[in-house]
Structure 1
Amino acid sequence: MNRRELLAVPMQSSGAMDVQSGVARRAGVLWCTRHRAAGVGGPIADTAVVVIHPSSNFMGHYALDALAECGVDAIGMTTRYIGNEAMLLLEHCVVDIGSVVRHLRNEGYRRVVLIGNSGGGGLVALYQNQAEHPTITAPPAGGPPDLTRADLPPADGLIMLMAHPGRNIVLTEKLDPSILDETDPFRRDPALDLFNPDNGPPYSPEFLARYRAAQVARSERITQWALAQLAELKERTHGRVDDLPFVVHGTMADPRNLDLSLDPSDRAATTQWGAPDVANLIPASIGHYTSLRSWLSQWSSSLSNGNGPERLQTVKAPVHVIYGTADPGCYPGHARMLYDAVPHDNKLLTPIPGAKHYLFDQPEHKRACCRLIADWSQSLA
C-alpha cells in the first residue's frame, strides 16, 4: 500500500522577509510528508498527528509509517528553518506550526495532535501556550512575528516524545563553563573542566554546584554580548544590518553524559554524537553555529521564550510525556519537568524501558511507542 504523499502547506506571512533558503522563501511553502492510514487516495483518518522539530527534516521521520499502520494520519513537518538552525527564531517556528494546523483543520481532521520530538518538545509547548493565550508580540531581539496577531489554532493534544524541556534549558545544561575565551576552545579553567580526571566522574556535589552556576553565567555573558553587538550593529550600519553570525564552542558538556549516578537511567555514558569529549567540540552537535538574534530567541537561558515547563504551566490541552529509559540526551528528569509543569490532571508520563533517543535498531520499541501514541491520540474527545 502506498501511504506516503507530499503535502505543501502555504506559509503565513510575518510582515517582513525572513532570511533562509532563497527557494523556500520565494515559494512561501512549508513542505511536509503525510503517511495515510487508508493509503493515498483513501479517506483521511479522524486523527492527524504532526511530528515536529525546529530545524530537523522530519519528512522522513522514523515513526511516520508505523503511526499510519496504527490508524492515524502521520505528518512529518518542516519549518522554514529546515537544515538552517543558525538563523532560527522560535517565534517563526510557532507561526509555521500554526500554518500546518490550520491546513489540517481545513482538510477536515477531527483531531490534530502535536508530537514534539527531541528539540520539538519545548517548541510545541510554546505553540500551544500561545495558541491558547497569545502574549508574545516580538522575539527577544524585536521585529516580527507578533504571535498575538498570528493564526494559531490550538491543537487537541500534545505529546512530548524523547523530548528535552527546551533549547535554552538543554544548551545551558550542556554548555562547557571551563572555556575562558569564546574564540579559543582550548583556553580552559581546569577547575571547571568536565573532562579533567581530577574533577571526576563521579562528580562531587560541590563541583556540580560550581559547574552549574558557571554554565548559567557563561550563557548570560553570551546573551549580554549579543545584546551589545546588536546595539553596536544598529549604530554602525544605521539600521541596515540587523544580525551577525558567530560560533559557540563547547556545547556538549553535561555531567550526566559521564556520571550515570546523576539522573539515573538505563543510558550509556555517551551522547547522540558519540563520546562526550568529542561531541563537545565537533560541528555536528547542538548550538555551535548561531546568530545574535537566533541566540536570544532559542539558546539564551534568560531571554528565550522556549522554556517548555514555563509554557506548559497555562496549557489546557491534554499532554502525554513519553521518554526512553536508555536515552543518552533526554533524561527522566527532563520528562518529569515537563509532566510536573502541566497544571491539570489530563496528563500522562510513560517510560519506554530500554528505548534510546531515536529508537534506532529498536523495531519492537518503535512499534510499541507508535501504538501508544496512536491509541492516546484517538482517545481524545
Structure 2
Amino acid sequence: MSDLKIAVIDVKPGASMESQSGLQMLRPRIFGAYRAPADRRKVAAIVMHPTSNFMGHYLIEPLAERGICCMGLNSRYMGNDTLLLMERAIQDLGAGVKYLRDAGYEKVVLIGNSGGAALASFYQAQAERLTATQFPDGDPTHLHADDLPPVDGIALCAAHLGRSRLMRDWIDPSVTDEHDPMSVDPALDMYDPRHGGQGVQGVREVQGVQEVRYDADFLARFSAGQQARLDRIEQWAMDRLRTLRATPGAPRDQAFIVYRTHADPRCLDLSIDANDRAPGSVWGDARQVNYSANAMGRTTSLTAFLSQWSSRSQADGPTNLARTSVPVLLLTYTADQSTFPSTRDAWMAAGGDRIRNVDIVGGNHYLAGQPALVPQAADAIAGWADGL
C-alpha cells in the first residue's frame, strides 16, 4: 500500500467573495487525501461532505487495505458553510470524480457519510439528468453535464437526509426574537423541565444522563412551531433578496444569523424513533449546542440559506436518490444520536430494489472510540464495491 497522497484539484470559480482568500478566488482549488493500493486500479471511492474536513476520514486507510483507493475530498467550503451553495459543492465533487477517472480507475463510487449522503445523492441525480440549471434564488448555476461524470454506485453511512430536513427537525421553535439568542417561549421550550416528564414511571438514567418523556400534545405543538419558524425565516429571506435585487447599488446577498438550531426531542426522549443511542447530541450536551455561538446553520447568507436549509433546496437526499439508477449500500449505525430508524426507512424507500442495508450494531455517528466497528464498515463497503 502506498503512502498517503495529496490531490490538488483546480475547480471553476464561484460567487464573488465566496472566500476571504484572494488566492483561492483567483485560482480556486480543492484538496483531497487518498491511499492507492499498489498495482490495483479497479475501484476508487470518494468520501466528501459539503463542509467537514474529510481528508482524515476513518475509512481511507481501511479501504485501501481492502484494495480500494479511498479519497477524502474537501469542497471549497471546507470549515465554513456561510456561503455554501449545494449546486457548487456537487461541481467540486465532480472534479474529484474526474481526477480518479483520469487516474485510470475502472469504477468510481461515492461514500456519503453523514451530511455527505445527501450530497452524493444530489450529485448522482444531476449526473444522470441535469436539472439544477438555476440556484433557488433564480440565478444560473452554469453547471454542465461534463462537470458531473456519473459514478458506479453510492454507499451511505450514518446518513442524514439532507440539510433542509435537518433544519426542519432541529430548529428551535421557542425563539421569540430572531435578534436575541436568549429569547424563549417556555410553552415551546423542549429544554424546560416542565415538558420533559422527568421522574415519571418508565423514565430512566442512561450513562449518567436523565432521559425524559414528552407527551404527544407537546410534540405536536413543538413540530408545528418548528415549521412555522422555518417558514417565517424562509419568507423573510425571499423578501429580503427581492428587495436587495430591486435596489440600485445594493448587494445581491446578505449574511444573517439563525439562532438555536439544535432542538430535536429525540436527543432527550429515547422512546421517539428508538435505537441504541444514549441521551444527548453527537456534539455533546444538546442544550449547550443549541445555545452555542457556532452550530448548524448558525451564520448563513440569503442565497446559502435557500440552497442548503430551506424548502427550496434542491439537495434533499431521498428525493435525489430515487432519481438515480445505480446500486446503493446503506450502513445504519444503530447507536447514532442523529440518524434513526425513520432515517433508514426513508433511504430504503428511496432506493427501492437497488438498496441494501447493513446494520453496524452499536455504532455511534462517528464510530468514535469504536475501533472494532470501523473494519466492519470497511468490510461491508469493500465487499459491495468489489461486486459492482
Task: Verify same fold: TM over 0.5.
Answer: yes
Q: CA deviation at 1:13?
A: 4.8
Work out the CA distance in 1 between the residues paired with 2:341 and 2:64.
28
Q: Which stretch of the first structure deviates more once superposed, 224-233 or 137-146?
A: 137-146
User: Is the partner of 1:270 in helix, strand or coil?
Assistant: coil
Residue among 243, 248, 254 paired with 1:244: 254
Residue among 313, 318, 325 paired with 1:309: 318
Q: What whole-Å deviation, never above 9, does each CA across 1:259-295 have from its counterpart, x for those lacking one?
A: 0000101101111211111111113421111111100
Q: Is the 8 A contact 1:139 1:297 kept in 2?
A: yes
Q: CA deviation at 1:12?
A: 3.3
Residue of structure 2 equivalent to 1:338: 347
Work out the CA distance in 2 between the residues paired with 1:284 and 1:48.
34
Q: Is the 8 A contact 2:127 2:149 kept in 1?
A: yes
Q: Is the 8 A contact 1:5 1:34 kept in 2?
A: yes
Residue of structure 1 equivalent to 2:303: 293
Query: How does 1:137-286 map onto structure 2 within 5 Å?
Result: 137-149=133-145, 151-200=147-196, 201-238=212-249, 241-286=251-296
Query: How does 1:97-108 map onto structure 2 within 5 Å?
Result: 97-108=93-104
Residue among 130, 134, 138 paired with 1:134: 130
Work out the CA distance in 1 between the residues paired with 2:40 and 2:53.
24
State the AA in 1 paired with 2:27: A
State the AA in 2 paired with 1:98: G
Residue among 39, 50, 68 paired with 1:54: 50
Q: Is the 8 A contact 1:273 1:285 kept in 2?
A: no
Q: Is the 8 A contact 1:273 1:284 kept in 2?
A: no
Q: Is the 8 A contact 1:12 1:99 kept in 2?
A: no
Structure 1: 4+ residue segments shifted above 4 A: none
Work out the CA distance in 1 between the residues paired with 2:213 and 2:302.
36
Q: How many residues align?
A: 372
Q: What whole-Å deviation, never above 9, does each CA across 1:13-67 have from its counterpart, x for those lacking one?
A: 56x65612433222332211111122xxxx3531001001001111111221111
State the AA in 2 paired with 1:295: F
CA RMSD of aligned residues (A): 1.6
State the AA in 2 paired with 1:226: A
Work out the CA distance in 2 between the residues paired with 1:116 and 1:8.
21
User: Is the partner of 2:331 in helix, strand or coil?
Assistant: strand
Q: CA deviation at 1:307?
A: 1.0
Q: Is the 8 A contact 2:46 2:109 kept in 1?
A: yes
Q: Is the 8 A contact 2:127 2:145 kept in 1?
A: no
**CA distance change for structure 1 residues 147 and 205 in 2, over 3 Å: closer, same or farther?**
farther
Q: Is the 8 A contact 1:135 1:148 kept in 2?
A: no
Q: Is the 8 A contact 1:135 1:147 kept in 2?
A: no
Give the TM-score of the pair, scaled to structure 2: 0.92
State the AA in 2 paired with 1:372: A
Work out the CA distance in 1 between the residues paired with 2:103 and 2:255.
40
User: Is the partner of 1:184 in helix, strand or coil?
Assistant: coil
Work out the CA distance in 1 between the residues paired with 2:365 and 2:164.
19
User: Is the partner of 1:126 in helix, strand or coil?
Assistant: helix
Q: What whole-Å deviation, never above 9, does each CA across 1:299-357 have from its counterpart, x for those lacking one?
A: 01x211111111122210111111211111122221221121124x1211111001111
**CA distance change for structure 1 residues 148 and 83 in 2, over 3 Å: closer, same or farther?**
same
Q: CA deviation at 1:128?
A: 0.8
**CA distance change for structure 1 residues 13 and 290 in 2, over 3 Å: closer, same or farther?**
closer
State the AA in 1 paired with 2:216: P
Give the TM-score of the pair, scaled to structure 1: 0.94
State the AA in 1 paired with 2:18: V
**CA distance change for structure 1 residues 363 and 92 in 2, over 3 Å: closer, same or farther?**
same
User: Is the partner of 1:51 in helix, strand or coil?
Assistant: strand
Q: Which stretch of the first structure deviates more once superposed, 147-156 or 128-137?
A: 147-156
Residue of structure 2 equivalent to 1:364: 372
Work out the CA distance in 2 between the residues paired with 1:18 and 1:79.
16
Residue of structure 1 equivalent to 2:118: 122
Q: What whole-Å deviation, never above 9, does each CA across 1:210-264 have from its counterpart, x for those lacking one?
A: 211211111111111111111222233435x111111111111000000000010
Residue of structure 2 equivalent to 1:73: 69
1:30 equivalenced with 2:30 (yes/no): yes
Residue of structure 2 equivalent to 1:324: 333
Q: CA deviation at 1:191?
A: 1.2
1:374 equivalenced with 2:375 (yes/no): no
Work out the CA distance in 2 between the residues paired with 1:292 and 1:44.
46
| Identical aligned residues as a percent | 40
Work out the CA distance in 2 between the residues paired with 1:163 and 1:24.
30
Work out the CA distance in 2 between the residues paired with 1:256 and 1:22.
43
Work out the CA distance in 2 between the residues paired with 1:283 and 1:159.
33
State the AA in 2 paired with 1:253: A
